[in-house]
Amino acid sequence: MIVNIKIEEYLNKLNSFSFPKDREILEEMEDYAFKNDFPIVERAVGNLLYTITKLKKPKLVVELGSGYGYSGYFFAKGIEEGKVVLTDYQEKNINMAKDYYKRLNIYEKAEFNVGNAIDIAKNYKDIDILFLDLEKSKYLDAILELKSNLKIGSLVIADNVLWYGKVVEEIIDEKTEKIKVFNEYMFTNDEFFSTIVPLRDGVLISLKIK
């Protein structure tokens, strides 16, 4: 456990007030995740992504691992002038995202890609926000391969960096070890200034400072 369950419930309730006009569709997306055991960032993290997007005013957000577009919704809503690039290796998920985004009136703010997320992202230069939510063992590879596509002042946001709390267990598996190495890299490499928010499964927020 990362956060006290009662606190999580309290926060979920407060966070559920967001985006009243889209409430029905958002709840439909959340329901799909619940019923299909599909990992999404949840509303609390989504609202944080929206807030950060409003502050950052990005032209280009690139997501590595978009699923059916739940996290991308919050970026798209926060973007004033620009776009969010969605990637997923499953065509079914991207097609779902397209349908949802049409209904949510954010289709024009997004680009949709099926395939290897890192390979797709390499085509995008001058990224303002890079969102990592792909296979956890690939986080560090993603940064090493895409660092030169990130502007100075850009943000890296990574989900699941506390990995169900496994990062503090005594015996850890290979995937958890890779997440720990990624976290240490982001906090000790002087190209980044990092912080982790223990919201849900842990969200890393890193500024590219040089």
- Minimum CB distance to its own copies smaller for 140 or for 167: 167
Cβ 90 to its own copies shortest distance, Å = 29
- Minimum CB distance to its own copies smaller for 114 or for 197: 197
Residue 192 near residue 208 (C-beta atoms within 8 A): yes
Tokens 């995740």 sit on residue: 33
- Minimum CB distance to its own copies smaller for 25 or for 172: 172
Q: Sheet containing 150-159: which strands, arranged edge to edge?
A: 110-114, 83-88, 60-64, 127-132, 150-159, 203-208, 192-197
Q: How far apart are CA 207 and CA 210, in angstroms?
A: 9
Cβ 193 to its own copies shortest distance, Å = 7
- Minimum CB distance to its own copies smaller for 51 or for 123: 51
Report the interface residues with its own copies, using CB under 8 A.
1-4, 6-7, 9-11, 14-15, 17-18, 44, 47-48, 50-52, 54-56, 153, 155, 162, 165, 167-168, 183-184, 187-188, 193-199, 205, 207
- Minimum CB distance to its own copies smaller for 3 or for 114: 3
- Minimum CB distance to its own copies smaller for 42 or for 88: 42
Cβ 4 to its own copies shortest distance, Å = 6
Among residues 166, 165, 162, the alpha carbon closest in space to that of 174 is found at: 166
Q: What are phi and psi of 145, to 5 degrees?
A: -80, -25
What's the half-sphere exposure (Cβ side, CA atoms, 13 Å) at 19? 19
Cβ 163 to its own copies shortest distance, Å = 11
- Angle between helix axes 91-103 and 70-78 (nearest 10 degrees) is 40
Q: How far apart are CA 127 and CA 201, in angstroms?
A: 25
CA angle 137, 38, 70 (to 5 degrees): 90
Cβ 116 to its own copies shortest distance, Å = 29
Cβ 92 to its own copies shortest distance, Å = 31
